[in-house]
Chains A and B, each alone.
Chain A
Amino acid sequence: MSTYVSNPDEAKEYQSRYKLFYIAIGFALTVFTMRLWYLQIISGNELREFSEKNRIKQNKITAPRGLMLDRDGKVLVENLPGFEAILSPQYIESLDELAKAVGPVLSMEPEKVILKVQKSRRQNGPFAQIRLKENLSREEVFRLKRMRLDTPGLEIRESIVRFYPLHDNGAQLFGYVGEISKRQLPILNEQYKGALKFDQGDIIGKSGLEETLEKDIRGSDGVSFIQVDAHGREAVTQTPNIYGEEIKDMIPVHGNNAILTIDRDIQEVAFKSFMSLNRIGAVVAMRANGEILAWVSTPSFDPNEFSTGISAQTWSKLINDPFKPLRNKVIQDHNAPGSTFKPLVAVPALQEKVITPTTIVSAPGVFYFGRRPYHDHLKGGHGNITVFEALERSSNVFFYKMGIALGVDKMFDYISLLGIGQKTGIELAREVSGTMPNSAWKKATVGEEWQPGENLSTAIGQGFVTVTPLSMAVAYNAIGTEGKVVKPFLLRKIIDQDGKVLRENFPQVVRDLQQTQSNGVHISPDTFKTVKEGLRRVANGDRGTAKHWKVPGVQMAGKTGTAQVMGFSADQIYAKCESRPIHMRHHGWFVAFAPADNPEITIAALAEHSCHGGSGAAPIVRDIIQAYFTKYHPEVIEAALKAKGGKRAQAPVIAPEVEGE
């Protein structure tokens, strides 16, 4: 029925040209297929990941840190809900207007707001959120909430604020938290490799237990994923999970709680005692097994100011304070122990049989070694005395003689075993060891031979000897327990939120000195008993240097001491201390344990620039011991009070200074 058009031959002329078309089509098909194969099959997974990154925004949900509780479960460090002002730079329409609106509400200069945003944009990109201000007041929250609708990019977010209910009490012990610094970030990530992962903006423990318990009390942060469109707006899809079900929010996990050995009641008594005496210094109270009960270092600071973003002004005040409030003086300051060193010298003197408990030694007011006079604090001297009286009255000349007889190396052999000149190993960073010298040490560090005269100054705790309060507590505790050198510790348990114990610390005896040690030294119970009796008399004897600070019903044993601050000659040490400018006054020491015969608690107190150990440091120790026995052995205190006819023995607040320490 149908035939071709009149002259199909004419159109047939082109027949040979159609191959051009096939070539072009074939070319396009090949090139496109290869390219699509490359993009969708070879690079498909990578590009799929890119498209996921495009649309999914991660919001970090900070996990609360674990609490710190005292041995009775009382709160020492906790978290409080707070509010912070956050900016999401990608949504800001006009930075100038925002800064002008928000600045005054937050009492920030608008220029500062602009600078902060610009800096963050430069450093962290346009999508990183900026923490404008933390810990907003109620008023600020209220005012910001009202302006939020007109200010795109501004958010008020709930946050967690670390709270220290004891405020400046124990600030150096508990530490403080703050935002991780750029410099710290790689260091900490290396240090906690595999255990913790830190990101910019994270809040971390910066000092104290907050720092050393980071791994235990840090929770794991959660993440919430939100889907955003190309303009950064949250895009809610009508059908949930349409874009992939594999993305699930990660709920933050609360950090584990730390139960400390600290007793909040005793901690508060210790701090109150320090404050009421207006003392600078440190005190540490330790149970005989090494559990730390109280730990105070003053002057102090309020760590709550750090949690909420410390002002530059406050910070510079803290670091420029000559009395170093940020320093943990219990372990970071080492001072000459002064006369508190004498009982430690008495140990080798007795053990090496330089003296026996009954040996009578002449202790005049001045002692010539070579041609140089070495003075006692008492011009007339102490007469002929035994080691008991030497300790009770703190005779210098008695111990000069012990120093000469023993020599520094013998003293070193014993006293370093008691823990002097060594780190105690407490769970805190930046502990210093102090120094217990010997002749080899002097040669190595000073480069000179040991001078015989230095035996004398060493024997009364001056010269090269330096100690931390904590190491003194350990040494006295070893004397009190007749040989048990313990490792002091602060952390009893780490428990999770259900109360399950994850980690537990047990008391640890580092060495028992009644056993023969590696350097051949051992110390007999008799030696300890003799020294303990001397120390008992310090607090209880008629001429004891700490006799004014008794706790009714409890016998304590201890020793006062004075540490030279400036290099005065021996006879000037006690001259008109109170008349000097405060930074030049001597430090007062008192180290004690109680009960004297079988101690439960050992306390080392350093009262910086207080001139005297007795009046400066002993009252604090007394208050702590009283608080301890009132709490743990109320029957002892009550019985003593009853015996005195119900009248509570009142120790004088300002006691007459007993000569000689």
Chain B
Amino acid sequence: MLTSLHVEERTLFKKLDINLIIVILALNVIGLINLWSATHGPTTQDVASLFISQIMWLVVGWTVFLVVTIVDYSIVMRIATIAYVLNLGAILYVTFFGKVALGAQRWIDLGFFRYQPSETMKLALIMVMAKILSTRTTFGRGMGLKELALPLIALLIPFVLVVEQPDLGTAMMLAAIGGSMMIFAKIRKSILATIIALGIIALPIAWQFVLHDYQKNRVLTFLSPTSDPRGTGYNSIQSKIAVGSGRFFGKGFMKGTQSQLEFLPERHTDFIYSVLSEEHGFVGSIAVIGLFCFLFITGIRIASNARDKFGALLAVGVLCYIFWHMFVNIGMVIGLLPIVGVPLPLLSYGGSSMLTTMAGLGLISSVAYRRYLF
């Protein structure tokens, strides 16, 4: 009895991917430390309560993570389509009845939580794409037009709806995640080349007819940030100053003047990485990127050891989600990309982001958990 219990515990423990959990915990801890600083400046006491709610979201996030881990992800495959359709419905609902924040993001107020359907859409898209792509038997030359039709439609519907919201950042993320998954599943080279060419042609058209003025401004500002340092270029310049002024070792915890004295805009959400770079310098900045790399490598290992194609694609999809968010967010903060409202997973403040990320990581963990047979 004692022995069998012992064996069972060891088994459960062994089945979890400890590396994954450790790296997530590490990023959580860094995120909390950093968020403390970002919300406790001398004149910023009003946002101090955000720290408490972030801890609450972390607890909820980890609960979701563990539940998703233990549930067999074959269930995910079964509910993928329903989740996708429901989510589309929610997006349609907010497009017409939702509340608008910052001129773009739309949400439903659930009282304790502002539910952003476009955020969960990312996960729903990953599930549906994984489901569709895993059923395509394509190896060899890759997917042709016939095989691509369904995943493309699955991607385009939410993409167009989100563009219409108009939340360009999230739309781009959806496209990046879906596209990456398709490329991962292999597309015929000629078709890939055609799509890229079409994309390049579509760019100026999109500029002319799809983008809003404030979005165009962001891009123009990115190209020439000093043209209007007090206006649209302000965020970008202040963020670069914050990052650069951290120098090698940083100004120290709670000593980042750019963030503490509110020169950094959106410092607890989109610009959380510049808070970190300012206070912990090159060392801290590279350490966090290193942790993300470790997370990716762990995730890739899990995907490559998955028991089936769906599991592998699911893990890959979530990795794409985290990768693109990280890439665009840090790229924006350090002045390599235009300002787009994209949070940094695990570090930025925000319930939606935290829940989606932890659920997604739960999916990866689940894939790892299910690679063993009993």
Contacts and interface: CB of A to CB of B under 8 A. Distances in A.
The CB with the most chain B CB atoms within 10 A, among A33, A36, A55, is that of A36
Given A41-B248, A235-B43, A8 B307 contact: yes
Contacts of B370: 5
Contacts of B330: 32
B295 to A, nearest CB: 10
A52 B286 CA distance: 24
B374 to A, nearest CB: 8
A518 B304 CA distance: 108
- Among A3, A43, A45, A229, chain B packs the most CB atoms within 10 A around the CB of A229
A80 interface: no
A11 B307 contact: yes
A51 B307 contact: no
A235 B261 contact: yes
B282 A37 contact: yes
A238 B374 CA distance: 58
Interface in B323-369: 323, 326-327, 330-331, 334-336
Interface in A38-71: 39-41, 43-48, 50-52, 54-55
A32 B300 CA distance: 21
B334 A32 contact: yes
A228 B245 contact: no
B373 A3 contact: yes
A50 B261 contact: no
A13 B319 CA distance: 18
Contacts of B255: 242-243
Interface string B138-155: 010000000000000000
For the residues of A in contact with B, the DSSP-based class is: helix
Interface residues of B, number: 63
Interface in B244-297: 244-248, 254-255, 257-258, 260-263, 277-278, 281-282, 285-286, 289, 293, 296-297
B246 to A, nearest CB: 6
B121 interface: no
Contact of B248 (A5, A15, A31, A44): A44
A2 interface: yes
Nearest to B323: A24
B334 A35 contact: yes
A14 B184 CA distance: 8
B9 interface: no
A48 B286 contact: no
B319 A21 contact: yes
Given A54-B241, A55-B263, A229-B43, A5 B307 contact: yes
A230 to B, nearest CB: 4
A76 B49 CA distance: 64
Interface stretch (B52-60, B159-167, B214-222, B308-316): B308-316
B84 to A, nearest CB: 22
A253 to B, nearest CB: 30
A141 B277 CA distance: 48
B244 A47 contact: yes
Nearest to A45: B247
B246 A40 contact: yes
A547 to B, nearest CB: 80
A429 interface: no
Nearest to A2: B372
B323 A25 contact: yes
B188 interface: no
A40 B263 contact: no
A6 interface: yes
A6 B370 CA distance: 12
A55 B261 contact: yes
A311 interface: no
Nearest to A14: B312
A333 B43 CA distance: 64
A295 B323 CA distance: 85
A40 B43 contact: no
A509 interface: no
B42 A236 contact: yes
Interface string A1-37: 1111111101101110110111011001101110111
B244 A43 contact: yes
Contacts of A22: 300
A40 B281 contact: yes
A530 to B, nearest CB: 82
Closest CB pairs A-B (n = 8): A5-B307, A47-B244, A44-B247, A51-B245, A2-B372, A229-B261, A39-B244, A48-B245
12 contacts: A5-B307, A7-B308, A10-B308, A36-B243, A37-B282, A39-B334, A40-B244, A40-B247, A41-B247, A45-B247, A48-B247, A231-B262
Given A11-B308, A20-B184, A44-B244, 4 more contacts: A5-B307, A13-B139, A17-B186, A54-B241
